Structure 1
Amino acid sequence: MTTAHLDIAVTRYDNTRGLFDGSVAFDGLDVTLHSPAIPEIFAGLVSGRFDVAEFGLTHYLRARDTGSPDLVAIPVFPARAFRHSSIFVNTSKAITGPADLTGRTIGEFGMYGQDSGIWAKGILSDDYGFAPEHNRWIIGGLETPLPAPFAFTTHPHPDAVEVGFAPPGRTLAEMLDRGEIDALFASNAPTPYLAGSPNIAPLFPDHEARERDWYRRTGIFPMMHTIVARRELFEARPTLSRTLFDGFLTAKNVAAQRYREMRKLFQVTTMVPWMYHLFEENQALFPQDWFPYGTAANRTALETFLRYSHEQGLSAASHTVDELFAEELRNT
């Protein structure tokens, strides 16, 4: 049995490559895969352009908080990143550690409380006592001026948090480089930093060591996005959530197995020197499935994200992990 045509939008990660090259299929589904820029994916899901799409966890929570129960997630998490490494500072501002962020003007891409920002603020709060309300936040585009905050989501923030918007035609990357903001919580590294600007540095130069220590203590590999579809699709075809989950899971497992098999070739399928050593080092730290899907292996990470989101005044207190996902997949 083949369902009506579905438009599915997701980034071309290595864990989704098999879906795009045809080596992995969604059983019995007639689909077209799309991979525009992430903001376009998110906006396309909300507008109805896409039936199934990658979606930021914070956007999903906000949709639910504003009475939009028509969106339902499946416990697939295609994008993960540790976030000590995503905080940058201007080198002229005498910021040498988290304590020096108090009272500063900090940039954040697109909105206050995007997925990477929620994780970074929460981690700093847990480990260093960071309090976002003690700062002024500037929202804008990272490399391209953003005329207005993202229209596909809501923009809550506590009254105690001062949130402004970047001046017209300005980007957060250039504002950080010029010292017009003191720090930046980013999902991507700013271009001036990558180009070698002496004006920008990571808050934690030893971020990898800190991230590894944080993982040892928490067991959390932070996820940013999940996969979301409209409830009516699941109601019309009760097996759809499982079919989607299995397709994404298979594509991810194929990618993971590719890394394991390339150990014997010293990971020469990548252009990164010493990738073999990095993979071996990670094998010693992470479980066999280091990029898990499903609710069981991700419960601690999800509960932590929900706590951070609530503590930062961005979502309701009543969310539980199980209520977020299609009922058929709550025991995965």
Structure 2
Amino acid sequence: MSTPRLDIAVTRYDNTRALFDGSVPFDGLDVTLHSPPIPEIFAGVAAGRFDVGEFGLTHYLRARDAGTELVALPVFPARVFRHSAVFVNTAAGITGPADLAGRTIGEFGMYGQDSGIWIKGIMADEYGFRPQSNRWVVGGLETPLPRGFTFTTHPHPDDVHVTFAPHGRTLAQMLERGELDALFASNVPAPYLAGSPHIAPLFPDHETRERAWFRRTGIFPMMHTVVVRRALLHAHPGLARSLYQGFLAAKDDAAQRYRDMRRLFQVTTMVPWMHQLFEENRDLLGEDWFPYGIDANRTALETFVRYSAEQGVSRSPRAVDELFAEELRGT
């Protein structure tokens, strides 16, 4: 059987670096790695320009609803705790989650992208947040986005009011000017980083809240997965396993580097007290704090699927295992 030749697109994270520098290979595969900006990766995956690629988890669920030929591997290269994702205009009088009711809220790109699904679900579980009580404005955070910006469908419930940002406007601008009361962000708004007095986090103590939430739930939210075209899996038995093992080995290589750096007090980074932070995180999150595979992520995946269905952006909850390549369902 010929060696599969694959174009693979994924961000150069620390957990994929070993794939790019060649220290961890994909055994038995001839691969070309690409790392354009994330929106280009997602668009390329959806359009079939890449054989294998990083893909937003919500895009994947929606693509599944639409009958996609993409199949996910239980690889999760991007994770972020999301209490830190909510920003407010300081003149809006919002001091806690209850004050969000009836407000105008911005969300990046689409209603119900990965970070938005997570924080809406967390806020609903923890504070009784109801998205249907708000007016939602979707658009670009720092760069205006066209209305046709999409990788999959854009469903939202009929009782949720969603509009696009005005032409040429960004969500960061609108929040700073008070045209938005709040923003559910995928990234930190640039005006806030620049010291704008008009923008503040909803939860200034977000790390404390995120750590407490992890202790209760055991969830480190994943944003993205990795997908492959179904036809390739049929044509090359064992391909899913080979891809999974390569991504897993690269992630484990990165984790081991962090462990080894403790001998040097993490002086290979520019972050002071990194050694202590690593130890605190390991005590809380465990030795494998960034797990791949289905079983170690089952609770997080079930929660995301539930949140997505509750928010009306994907179909009713489905079994987690059916989302992933069949040969990897025992991972």
Q: Tell me the TM-score normalised to structure 1 length.
A: 0.98
Aligned ranges 1:130-149 → 2 under 5 Å: 130-149=129-148
1:272 partner SS: coil
Aligned to 2:295, the other structure's residue is in SS state coil
User: How far is the alpha carbon of 1:3 from its aligned partner?
Assistant: 2.3
State the AA in 1 paired with 2:140.
Answer: G
Q: Deviations over 1:198-253 (max 9, x none)?
A: 11011000000000000000000000100001000000111100000000000000
1:118 aligns with 2:117: yes
- Look up the equivalent residue of 1:231 and give its one-letter code: R
User: SS state of the match for residue 296, structure 2?
Assistant: coil
Q: After the TM superposition, which parts of structure 1 deviate over 4 Å for at least 4 consecutive aligned residues?
A: none
Are 1:110 and 1:149, in contact at CA under 8 Å, matched by a contact in 2? no
Q: Equivalents in 2 of 1:2, 1:150: separation in Å?
A: 38
The aligned runs of 1:271-282 (5 Å cut-off) are: 271-282=270-281
Q: Residue in 2 aligned with 1:205?
A: 204
Shift in Å, 1:132: 0.3
Contact 2:83 2:119 in 1 (8 A): yes
Residue of structure 2 equivalent to 1:150: 149
Residue ranges of structure 1 left out of the alignment (5+ in a row): none
Deviation at 1:269, TM superposition (A): 1.1
CA distance in 1, matches of 2:84, 2:8: 31
Please say if residues 175 and 183 of structure 2, whose CA atoms lie closer than 8 Å, have aligned partners that are also in contact.
yes
Over the matched positions of the two proteins, sequence identity in percent amounts to 76
Within 2, Cα distance between the matches of 1:264 and 1:201? 38
Q: In the TM superposition, what is the alpha-carbon distance from 1:274 to its structure 2 partner?
A: 1.2
The one-letter code matched in structure 1 to 2:327 is E
Q: Distance in 2 between matches of 1:270 and 1:34?
A: 25
1 CA distance for matches of 2:272 and 2:52? 37
Supply the RMSD in Å over aligned alpha carbons: 0.8
Helix, strand or coil: the match of 1:73? strand
Task: Give the structure 2 partner of residue 60 of structure 1.
Answer: 60
Partner residue in 1 for 2:42: 42
Show CA shifts across 1:280-309 (max 9, x none).
111211111000000010000000000000
Change (3 A) 1:149 1:122: farther
2:115–2:186: 8 Å Cα contact kept in structure 1? Answer: yes
Of 272-281 and 208-217, more deviation after overlay is shown by 272-281
Correspondence 1:177-216 to 2 at 5 A: 177-216=176-215
- For structure 2, list consecutive stretches of 5 or more residues without a partner in the other structure: none
Alignment partner, residue 20 of structure 1: 20
- Give the partner amino acid of 1:121: K
* 1:2 to partner: Cα distance: 5.2
Q: Give the aligned length.
A: 331
Q: Are 2:304 and 1:290 aligned?
A: no
**CA separation in 2, counterparts of 1:2 and 1:23?**
24
Checking the alignment, whether the CA contact within 8 Å between 2:306 and 2:317 is kept in structure 1 is no
| TM-score of the pair, normalised by structure 2 | 0.99
Q: Are 1:105 and 2:134 matched, yes or no? A: no
Q: Is the 8 A contact 1:136 1:161 kept in 2?
A: yes
Q: 1:305 aligns to what?
A: 304
What corresponds to 2:51 in structure 1? 51
Tell me how far apart the structure 2 counterparts of residues 177 and 3 of structure 1 sit (CA, whole Å): 53
